[in-house]
Amino acid sequence: MKCFKTRHCAYYFIFVGIFLLFPFSLFKYTNYVLFLVNMGAIGVIGASGLNILKGYTGVISLSQAAFMGVGAYTVAILSTKEGLPFWINLPAAGAITAIVGVVAGTPSLRLKGFYLAMATLATQFLLEYVFKNWESMTRGVQGLFITPPQIFRVHMNNDWVFYFFVVPLAFVAVLCTRNLLRTKVGRAFTAIRDRDIAAELIGINVFKYKLISFAISSFYAGVAGGLWCYYMTIINPEAFTLLVSIDYIAMVIVGGMGTIMGPVYGAIFIILLPEFIQRVMEVLQPIFRMTYTFEAFKHIVFGFTIVIFLMFEPKGLSEIFSRMGRRIAKWRRKEVREKGGY
Amino acid sequence: MKKLFRFLVLVSLGLVAISAHAGEIPVGIYGTLTGTDVDVNGMSYGPKDYLTYVNEKFGGVMGHKYVPILLDGKNSIPEEVKVFKRLVDVDKVVVVNGWSTGGTKALRDQINILVKIPFQAQSFSIDVLDPVKYPYIFLMGPTYEDQVLIALEWAKQKGAKTIAFLHADIEYGRAPVRNAMEQKIPEKLGLKVLADIEYAGVSLDLTPQLLRIKELNPDYVYIQDSAGNTIKILRDAAKVGVPASKFFGNNYNFQHIIPGTLGKDAEGFKALQVNADWGANIPMMKEIEEFAKKHEIAKKDAYYTKGWAQGKIIHEVVSRVLKKTGGKIPEIGQFRTMIRDEWVNLENFDTGGGTPPLTYKNHQGHSEARIVEIKGGKFVTISDWIKTQ
Amino acid sequence: MELLVQVMIAGITIGSIYSLIAIGVVLIFKSSGVINFAQGSMAMIGAFIAYSFVTQLGVPIVFSLLITFLIAAAIGIVIERFVLRYLTGASLLSIIIVTLGITFIMDGGALAVWGSSNFTFPKLFPAFSLELGGIKVPSVYLWSFITAMVLLVIFLLFFKYSKMGLAMRASADNQKVAIALGISSRKVLSLTWIIASIVATGGGILLASISALHVNLSYIGLIVFPVIIIGGLDSIAGATVGGLIVGVLEAISGVYIAPHLGGAFQQVAAYLLLLIILMVKPYGLFGAKTIERL
């Protein structure tokens, strides 16, 4: 019962409360907002995976979308052809994607930095090719239809049901990441990222740990892909392109590489930013009477935001928030001192 | 900095509440405003402009003004799903004018079961045309498979014996060709398919593919792709010495940029026309010109005219519903279902020359096309309107 | 046999354009260690600017080209000065993302200004074709091939013998020491980006002359990567050869291999080759092995 004494526990209760009550508080736009939140949660899982690979192990991967595709197709095939339930399919998707990830990671034995990134780029395109052409399994470009599983007799792709399913999963993913980094494995990762030659010297088998990193990160991507599959109910190769991989990289960077909450902030930001731009543009549109060019402006603003962000705060949103947190703490301490406290 | 942040958050939350007011009819439209098939997005500007025209000229329908909301689907399924949910949930639209086949498929449950909202897709795919399974989905025009049939029948009449297919490795390219092969359309006409050649949609150079075609030497080549790639195909065909007259494109190849860019290298190229072109001498074009006096038109092509015609259908159906309710706007769920019911009852509706008369019993509007060929740098009609059903 | 010859010619002609774009990327890398993902967009914008001057404003071709190159140079300086300067020393991934962000800005900008239609690029080259092995090779392809070769020679000589070239290489190798030696890294970087921009614009104009002009031209920025890996990131000769190799590979796999494997195999062939080469030679065919110190 140590928990009840600390302040942290109160925070947890508040969080859980907000989580449970949130959908009910949206009177008007429930499905739409839940959709955004759900996509954000999937993004958190995928981005956390990528963060492990990039932020903590220092491997640049441009193939996260393809790995998600592997997970999505696994779930689709297992549920349509074998009729397996979701609590087998999702972990299976993660496992199979992890295996693919390890195979894709073998170039890392000899490659570093940019060249490794290019190898992952090749993986992305090769996997896309497989999705499009291994027709006996994936039905190629026509894609696969899924009937989403039912939880308590409601289909999973109902926005409400999915919300209560995926947001806790996202939370679990972040928690797992945090715990992972406290283990020997996690410390090995950061050692490799910072100075891999030195790491090798002190006895860390760099190649083995890089492969483990690929495996874990791909597991996350596979699960995220499987969830996506259940939510969209149709998957085809066009959903897992390089542009999506780039989105994930943007999430990791904007959120803050190598931090635990980074992927969360990043995923939320990247999902919400286009919506925000859209709203602003809608308000401005009658004033400026732009018509078809205003869509292009969204592209420009998105690009600008990314560039400005990286120019002025390369450590990402998590740095901004922790700075704000530190300032608040300092201000509070000052206040307390002024009032004659400790 | 913190204050600015808080202010921005409040502003953005406030901006969320932009939706139509009572007494207005919100209509949702989305298309590829940025993305891979932007060149045919006239089909999305058309309905928006037509409904704006109705507002300006007639004050809306029975005093209620339309609020057309045009959003960007980016030709990407998750984006289209997101946009659809926004239109349905936030803007509470009564009709949705959609876009891609993939997006329509992903939304099939939403459209037909969960939300029940009439949905006019820009797809020509047989996979979303099913009056029984998808009672709320409507298309306009012959399916891609119908188009292949029309083209191959014509080729057969000209004495062809062998054909080849040429398309991109995306659903739009592969699925119709696959379906046509499965339905044995070439076989039934006695035509032999020499090859089914694919290329990457973003390829810059198609000379190798054209070299293969030159080797195989089919009588005709059917291109299941749009003008952007067709230009590359014909350009490279000229390089290797395959005449443009061997090539036949689907309805998305009826674009004047093809002869405009290629000049004499495009002579003899054929395509299918499924609705009236920009500038045709028809009553619908007069309406567009009237609108153009005060507004800028985004795309002056046959896709815009298709969109305009689609706008007309929406207006016609909504008008009929409102006549039945005596000018009162019903509750939204009922309104959507009534619109759908009226839509199915549309018979021989005249779009002012924009399309053949439209009947929606089988949710398709019409399945006619006519063949056009590039002669002297311009498209000329070389056949009548051909029906497939 | 005749088909094979034709296929190879087809591959070389398109490959020379890949080389041109790749040269720009390699140039920037050689002098600053930055990998410019925005090269394709720069090429596209350059082509559009040229189009505007020639077609929309009616300026004579020679002047248009000159002004276009000047504007391209200006864009290069803007990118270098306002964006990349803030990112000196930032991680590789950050730089990649920034250049990707620049790509978004440029693509969106082109879309906003010119719209999304296909445009006919003005005929800048006398329209003759050379008949080579049964393929009518239009003059544009010849121009691009010649341009690529000429640039190759110029840059090889430049980097090896000229003072500025050596300065660039020194700066890329170790910026601090270069500064200590009196090399103004600011000048070096600006000059690099100017040259790369102009080369990209040239490539874009050639590309638009071959295809139609459309905002999707910026996709060529992607094909560049197998080229520079195969050729080696810091080798201009490698970029040139790599471009030709990739071009020929695409052509051959399109004609001979794709029918058996199905799909558009030619698109991934280059990436497969990339993987194979990287496994054998981790720094590309011509790249230099970097020595890492603790």
Give pLDDT tens digits for B347-385: 888 888 888 889 888 898 888 888 999 998 888 888 888
Can you list the domains of chain A with their CATH numbers?
Answer: 29-338 (1.10.3470)
- Using the Cβ of B202 and the Cβ atoms of chain C, whether some distance falls under 8 Å is answered with yes
Strand ranges of the sheet holding B137-138, from the earlier edge strand across to the other edge: B65-72, B24-31, B95-97, B119-120, B137-138
Once rounded to an integer, what is the mean pLDDT over residues B325-337?
87
Q: What is the DSSP letter of B295?
A: S
Rounded CA-CA distance B173/A141 in Å is 9
Query: For testing the chain C interface, which of A54, A64, A115, A269 should be mutated: the one with the most C CBs within 10 Å?
Result: A115
User: Do A310 and C275 count as a contact with CB atoms less than 8 A apart?
Assistant: no
- Using the Cβ of C33 and the Cβ atoms of chain A, whether some distance falls under 8 Å is answered with no
User: Which of A34-43, B130-139, B179-188, C154-163 is the least confident region?
Assistant: C154-163
So what's the pLDDT on residue B389?
A: 63
Q: Residue B109: phi, psi to the nearest 5?
A: -70, -40
Once rounded to an integer, what is the mean pLDDT over residues C165-192?
78
So what's the pLDDT on residue A164?
A: 84
In sequence order, the 6+-apart residues with CB closer than 8 A to the CB of B49 are B291, B295, B297, B298, B304, B307, B308, B311
Query: For testing the chain C interface, which of B211, B226, B303 should be mutated: the one with the most C CBs within 10 Å?
Result: B211
Closest residue in C to B33 (Cα) is: C116
User: Which of A49-58, B77-86, C135-144, C224-233 is the least confident region?
Assistant: C135-144
- Using the Cβ of B47 and the Cβ atoms of chain A, whether some distance falls under 8 Å is answered with no
Q: Which residues pair with B119 in a beta bridge?
A: B96, B137
More confident call, B381 vs C218: B381
Subunits with 3+ Cβ pairs within 8 Å of A are: B, C
- 3-state SS class at B46: helix
Q: Residue A329: phi, psi to the nearest 5?
A: -60, -40
Please count the other Cβ atoms lying within 10 Å of the Cβ belonging to residue A337.
10
Strand A154-155 relative to strand A150-151: parallel, antiparallel, unpaired?
antiparallel
User: Do C137 and B199 count as a contact with CB atoms less than 8 A apart?
Assistant: no
Closest residue in B to C247 (Cα) is: B205
Share of chain B above pLDDT 70, in %: 94
User: Which of A124-138, A298-312, B64-78, B260-274 is the least confident region?
Assistant: A298-312
Q: Residue C137: phi, psi to the nearest 5?
A: -85, 110
Q: Which of A143, C191, A222, A331 is nearest to B101 (CA)?
A: A143
Rounded CA-CA distance A284/C15 in Å is 45
User: Do A296 and B86 count as a contact with CB atoms less than 8 A apart?
Assistant: no
DSSP string, C75-126: HHHHIIIIIGGGGTT--HHHHHHHHHHHHHHHHHHHHHHH-SS-BPPP--S-
So what's the pLDDT on residue C114?
A: 82
Domain ranges across chain C: 2-218
Amino acid identity of B61? V
Q: Which of B274, B261, B273 is nearest to B379 (CA)?
A: B273
CB B206 within 8 A of CB B232: yes
CB A306 within 8 A of CB C97: yes
Predicted confidence band of residue B50 (pLDDT cuts 50, 70, 90): very high
So what's the pLDDT on residue A154?
A: 67
Strand B95-97 relative to strand B24-31: parallel, antiparallel, unpaired?
parallel
Q: Which of C145, C215, C246, C275 is nearest to B202 (CA)?
A: C215
- Using the Cβ of C284 and the Cβ atoms of chain A, whether some distance falls under 8 Å is answered with yes
Predicted confidence band of residue A142 (pLDDT cuts 50, 70, 90): confident
So what's the pLDDT on residue B200?
A: 81
In sequence order, the 6+-apart residues with CB closer than 8 A to the CB of B253 are B223, B225, B226, B227, B230, B269, B271, B272
> Can you read off the two tokens belonging to residue B251?
């309805």
**Residues of A with Cβ-Cβ distance to C112 under 8 angstroms:** 293, 296-297, 300
User: Do B77 and A239 count as a contact with CB atoms less than 8 A apart?
Assistant: yes
Alpha carbon dihedral B225, B227, B229, B231, in 10-degree steps, equals 140
Predicted confidence band of residue B2 (pLDDT cuts 50, 70, 90): very low
Query: For testing the chain B interface, which of A25, A234, A275, A298 should be mutated: the one with the most B CBs within 10 Å?
Result: A234
Q: Indicate the average pLDDT of chain C.
A: 80
- Using the Cβ of B86 and the Cβ atoms of chain A, whether some distance falls under 8 Å is answered with yes
Q: Which of C62, C45, C154 is nearest to C106 (CA)?
A: C45
> Can you read off the two tokens belonging to residue B151?
């083209």
Q: How many CB pairs under 8 A join A and B?
A: 88
In sequence order, the 6+-apart residues with CB closer than 8 A to the CB of A328 are none
CB B303 within 8 A of CB B295: no
Strand B65-72 relative to strand B368-375: parallel, antiparallel, unpaired?
unpaired
pTM of the model: 0.83
Helix (H) or strand (E) holding B120: strand B119-120
Q: What is the largest CA-CA distance in chain B?
A: 77
- Using the Cβ of C37 and the Cβ atoms of chain A, whether some distance falls under 8 Å is answered with no
Pick left, alpha or beta for residue B352 (phi over 0 → left; psi -120 to 50 → alpha; otherwise beta).
left
So what's the pLDDT on residue C148?
A: 75
Q: Which of B68, B116, B111 is nearest to B307 (CA)?
A: B68
A289: pLDDT strictly greater than 70: no
Share of chain A above pLDDT 70, in %: 90
Predicted confidence band of residue B1 (pLDDT cuts 50, 70, 90): very low
User: Which of A33-42, A56-65, A222-231, B83-92 is the least confident region?
Assistant: A56-65
Once rounded to an integer, what is the mean pLDDT over residues B175-190?
87
Once rounded to an integer, what is the mean pLDDT over residues A75-82?
84
If you average pLDDT over each of A217-231, B198-212, C118-132, which comes out highest?
A217-231
How does pLDDT run across B51-78, given as a tens digit for each residue? 999 999 888 888 889 999 988 888 888 8
DSSP string, chain C: -HHHHHHHHHHHHHHHHHHHHHHHHHHHHHHH----TTHHHHHHHHHHHHHIIIIIS---HHHHHHHHHHHHHHHHHHIIIIIGGGGTT--HHHHHHHHHHHHHHHHHHHHHHH-SS-BPPP--S---EEEETTEEEEHHHHHHHHHHHHHHHHHHHHHHHSHHHHHHHHHHH-HHHHHHTT--HHHHHHHHHHHHHHHHHHHHHHHHHHS-B-GGGGGHHHHHHHHHHHH-TT-HHHHHHHHHHHHHHHHHIIIIIHHHH-SSHHHHHHHHHHHHHHHH-TT-SSPPPPPP--
B16: pLDDT strictly greater than 50: no
- Using the Cβ of A140 and the Cβ atoms of chain B, whether some distance falls under 8 Å is answered with yes
Q: Residue B37: phi, psi to the nearest 5?
A: -110, 45
Predicted confidence band of residue A1 (pLDDT cuts 50, 70, 90): very low
How does pLDDT run across B97-112, given as a tens digit for each residue? 999 888 888 888 888 8
Once rounded to an integer, what is the mean pLDDT over residues C114-130?
71
Can you list the domains of chain B with their CATH numbers?
Answer: 2-141+280-358 (3.40.50.2300), 144-273+369-387 (3.40.50.2300)
Q: Indicate the average pLDDT of chain B.
A: 85
Once rounded to an integer, what is the mean pLDDT over residues C35-56?
88
Rounded CA-CA distance B126/A282 in Å is 35
- Count CA within 13 A, CB hemisphere, residue B307: 32
B5: pLDDT strictly greater than 60: no
Predicted confidence band of residue B19 (pLDDT cuts 50, 70, 90): very low
Share of chain B above pLDDT 90, in %: 23
Rounded CA-CA distance A157/A159 in Å is 6
So what's the pLDDT on residue B373?
A: 92
In sequence order, the 6+-apart residues with CB closer than 8 A to the CB of A279 are B12, B15, B16, B18
Long-range contacts, stretch C154-161, CB < 8 angstroms, 24+ apart = C155/C23, C155/C27, C155/C236, C156/C236, C156/C237, C159/C30, C159/C236
Residue C142: Cβ-neighbour burial (10 angstroms; 0-12, 13-18, 19+): middle
So what's the pLDDT on residue A7?
A: 65
Nearest-Cα distance to chain B for C205, in Å, is: 14
- Count CA within 13 A, CB hemisphere, residue A176: 16
Q: Which of B273, B317, B387, B297 is nearest to B118 (CA)?
A: B317
